[in-house]
Amino acid sequence: MDHLFDVLMSAKGRLQTGAPPPALEGDAASLDEAMKEAKAEKAKLHERSITKAELLRAVVEDSSVQVLLQQSHALHLLLSPTSYQDVFYAMDTDESGTVNRQ
């Protein structure tokens, strides 16, 4: 879950600044590069939570988030419009409308 949070925080930063998502080809080297980028960008961000709208935007617009979710047995449901809300609310354990690193 930490890796997903790092990638989502990276996507949030890119979406806020208008930077394009990294080009991913789905291989291990590309995913490692995305993880390094996510960690570097995470260090720059001060917010430690992601809203439902920010998560949805990242799922729809950021290819690195999509690749990561496709590879997760539990989290691939975030890619489905019919299950997104249920999965988000399951992740929102404090019912704040955000997902936080726990």
Mean pLDDT by 10 residues, the chain (102 residues): 74 78 62 72 61 89 90 88 87 82 64
Encoded tokens for 59:
């799922």
Note the pLDDT of residue 45: 47
At 49, is the secondary structure helix, strand, or coil?
strand
Encoded tokens for 77:
């449901």
pTM of the model: 0.56
Note the pLDDT of residue 30: 67
Note the pLDDT of residue 88: 86
